């Protein structure tokens, strides 16, 4: 199912998800798309051959080591999914529960999270706090799951709101990990009372200091905010993305669009958290807060879509019960008014642009990294995430484990 860094892989007359009535001949060489050309009519459809993958063809659901082409069912290809907000280091919703686990148990669960995330078609993730580049390299090297991960290492929250001098030291610690992002917990979340959830965690001076300092050190900034004045601060300060934002106003959406600040709504997690009988089984007070957030989210996403805000796909998934079910976010985005094309763009080319990787990631195009998903049914016609997940034939990762483990 997982095809790691293929040296030579060819698909004949395959369909590209989202493009109707056309087929393509696609060649992958050394983990990149070497050729993407429209198929000449009259050639047999849905064939594929793999070269130079001796010993790996059969286990990946591909042709054997002789490299011969074998007829396949009608296939579709899409770019690999990019999850811009996940928590791969976390094993429990309540972090006090994670502290009760041994370091070895936590590591095994983190490795399993990497594997589950890849199997669902996510080939790139931005971890929104909790994991370091060093841990990622260790997991890739020792568990063999070549998930590409950008990190923000530790989050800056209420315990760090101790003035700019203190924050300068905390930022230096985050930079030292090699993280490419700083995450600001600008408001509360599900743990905060409803009447206080929009209250700023930092002063405006502290908030602006963090953003200026990070940008001066070529580090990007994402902001956890449920809404209110911290969205205004984020726009003015020029952060790269805001997360959640369920109480976003129409006026703020317009200014987000003008500033090109991305909005990663992470909408599905709140519907999941609102269900007292769901996989998280949270206390009633938390379920009630999540239900209010979910109700507001559909309006916020509608404002953002109407204003032309850059939308990014993110799940905020953080437990074994959720890792591997990332495609549920597509269902929620569709329910909240996005078209199928808009939802998929937020998870592929749009997400790559938010990461600053729009020139080599998130598209089926020559020269791009061959991160892709092969489907046995049209993913744009799937009824829901369960059907979509079941139609995955294989996941292709363009970058090698050695490159990822080396931090490249």
- pLDDT at residue number 291: 97
One domain, residues 254 and 381: no
One domain, residues 55 and 152: no
The CATH number covering residue 153 comes to: 3.20.20.140
- pLDDT at residue number 73: 52
Q: What is the pLDDT of residues 66-96, one digit of tens each?
A: 333 333 459 999 999 999 999 999 998 888 8
Query: Could you say which of 336, 354, 372 is where a domain stops?
Result: 354
One domain, residues 394 and 309: no
- pLDDT at residue number 45: 56
Residue 43 has pLDDT above 70, yes or no: no
One domain, residues 135 and 195: yes
The number of distinct structural domains making up the chain is 2
* Mean predicted confidence (pLDDT) in 216-228: 98
One domain, residues 10 and 96: no
Task: Supply 207's token pair.
Answer: 């908030």
One domain, residues 278 and 377: no
* Mean predicted confidence (pLDDT) in 296-303: 97
- pLDDT at residue number 49: 54
- pLDDT at residue number 62: 43
Q: What is the pLDDT of residues 345-380, one digit of tens each?
A: 999 999 999 999 999 999 999 999 999 999 999 999
One domain, residues 19 and 73: yes
Domain residues for the domain of 205 are 81-354
One domain, residues 75 and 85: no
Backbone φ and ψ for 52, nearest 5 degrees, come out as 70, 20
One domain, residues 133 and 245: yes
One domain, residues 74 and 88: no
The CATH number covering residue 63 comes to: 2.30.40.10
Rounded Cα distance, 7 and 19, in Å: 26
One domain, residues 258 and 191: yes
- pLDDT at residue number 130: 85
* Mean predicted confidence (pLDDT) in 98-113: 94
* Mean predicted confidence (pLDDT) in 375-396: 97
One domain, residues 168 and 306: yes
């Amino acid at each position: 199912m997982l095809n790691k860094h293929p040296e030579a892989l060819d698909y004949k007359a395959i369909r590209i998800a989202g493009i109707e009535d056309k087929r393509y001949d696609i060649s992958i060489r050394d983990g990149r798309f070497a050729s993407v050309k429209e198929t000449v009519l009259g050639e047999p459809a849905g064939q594929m051959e793999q070269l130079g993958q001796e010993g790996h063809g059969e286990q990946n659901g591909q042709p054997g080591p002789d490299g011969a082409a074998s007829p396949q069912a009608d296939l579709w290809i899409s770019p690999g999914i990019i999850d811009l907000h996940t928590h791969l280091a976390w094993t429990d919703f309540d972090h006090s529960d994670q502290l009760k686990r041994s370091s070895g148990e936590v590591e095994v669960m983190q490795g399993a999270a990497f594997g589950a995330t890849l199997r669902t078609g996510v080939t790139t993730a931005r971890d929104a706090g909790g994991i370091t580049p060093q841990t990622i390299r260790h997991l890739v090297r020792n568990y063999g799951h070549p998930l590409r991960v950008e990190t923000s290492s530790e989050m800056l929250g209420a315990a760090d709101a101790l003035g700019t001098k203190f924050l300068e030291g905390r930022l230096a610690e985050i930079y030292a990990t090699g993280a490419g992002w700083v995450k600001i917990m600008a408001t509360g979340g599900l743990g905060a009372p409803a009447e206080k959830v929009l209250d700023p965690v930092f002063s405006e001076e502290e908030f602006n200091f963090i953003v200026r300092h990070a940008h001066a050190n070529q580090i990007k900034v994402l902001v956890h905010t449920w809404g209110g004045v911290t969205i205004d601060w984020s726009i003015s300060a020029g952060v790269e993305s805001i997360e959640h934002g369920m109480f976003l106003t129409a006026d703020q959406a317009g200014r987000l669009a003008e500033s090109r600040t991305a909005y990663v709504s992470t909408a599905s997690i709140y519907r999941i958290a609102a269900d007292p009988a769901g996989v998280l089984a949270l206390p009633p007070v938390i379920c009630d807060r999540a239900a209010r957030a979910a109700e507001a989210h559909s309006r916020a996403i509608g404002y953002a879509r109407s204003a032309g805000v850059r939308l990014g796909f993110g799940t905020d998934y953080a437990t074994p019960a959720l890792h591997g079910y990332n495609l549920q976010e597509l269902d929620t985005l569709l329910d909240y008014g996005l078209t199928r094309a808009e939802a998929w763009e937020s998870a592929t080319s749009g997400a790559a642009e938010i990461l600053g990787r729009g020139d080599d990631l998130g598209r089926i195009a020559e020269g791009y990294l061959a991160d892709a998903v092969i489907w046995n049914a049209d993913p744009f016609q799937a009824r829901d995430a369960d059907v979509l997940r079941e139609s995955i034939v294989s996941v292709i990762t363009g970058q090698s484990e050695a490159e990822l483990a080396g931090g490249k």
